Amino acid sequence: MNQDKAVQRLSREDLARRVARDIPDGAYVNLGIGIPTTVANFLPADRETVLHSENGILGMGPAPAEDRIDWDLINAGKQPVTMLTGGCFFHHGDSFAMMRGGHIDICVLGAFQVSVRGDLANWHTGAPGAIPAVGGAMDLAIGAKQVFVMMDLFTKTGESKLVDHCTYPLTGLGCVSRLYTDHGVFELGPDGARVIELVEGLSIADLSRLTGLELAMAPADSPA
């Protein structure tokens, strides 16, 4: 954990805002349960984004007013939602074909751990006695054209969640292309992690020390 007050860590809201900035006009996007869902609040109004929900919705809209709640119209987290004009419904076979078949442009997920090569662990801590539940996590991880992960870079006890090898049970291998954290943004791939952005007050040397990883900045011409 970084104790240095000069490091301007991103708030959860700013992190969601940062992810939203990288979602282009016309993209078909799946936002995972939990923190990733908040990205929807920051999608720029001048872009048309089509949100996919694993339970059979394209064109999902925000939460309804309390008197308009319809329990046949819920998101993957089982919360009531609305439909945008132009949206549609389909069954689970089609919904997961959209993921597995590479039709979803971007999927945004949370994580327990991400490896520098893009392995993802986000479904199970492996703790003895825990009820295992996977839902659509593994399908989302390997299906979308691009998988973004958003998370705090460190656990509450200061351990880096960006790691050389995941120690939690894996969700998917080499599937995460971009990692957005409260300390910076990373590009992940077969050659390892490269830093695209650092928050103010943080140097690449600090980040390497804190994570225990040998990190380098991506070349300036790298797509950001």
Contacts with other proteins, residue ranges (CB under 8 A)? 53-57, 67-74, 78, 83, 89-93, 95-96, 99-100, 129, 131-139, 142-143, 169-173
C-beta of 83 vs 217, nearer to other proteins: 83
C-beta of 10 vs 142, nearer to other proteins: 142
Sign of CA dihedral 143, 140, 108, 40: positive
The single residue of 48, 54, 159, 200 carrying the catalytic annotation is 54
Q: Minimum Å distance from CB 105 to other proteins?
A: 17
Task: At 66, give phi and psi (nearest 5°).
Answer: -55, -35
Residue 98, burial from CB neighbour count under 10 angstroms (0-12, 13-18, 19+): buried
Q: Minimum Å distance from CB 123 to other proteins?
A: 8
C-beta of 63 vs 134, nearer to other proteins: 134
Catalytic, 197? Answer no
C-beta of 108 vs 210, nearer to other proteins: 108
> What is the side-by-side order of every strand in the sheet holding 106-109?
82-89, 57-61, 50-53, 28-31, 106-109, 146-151, 178-181, 184-187, 194-198, 216-217
The Cα–Cα gap between 97 and 109 comes to 18
The Cα–Cα gap between 89 and 91 comes to 7
Instruction: Report the catalytic residues.
Output: 54
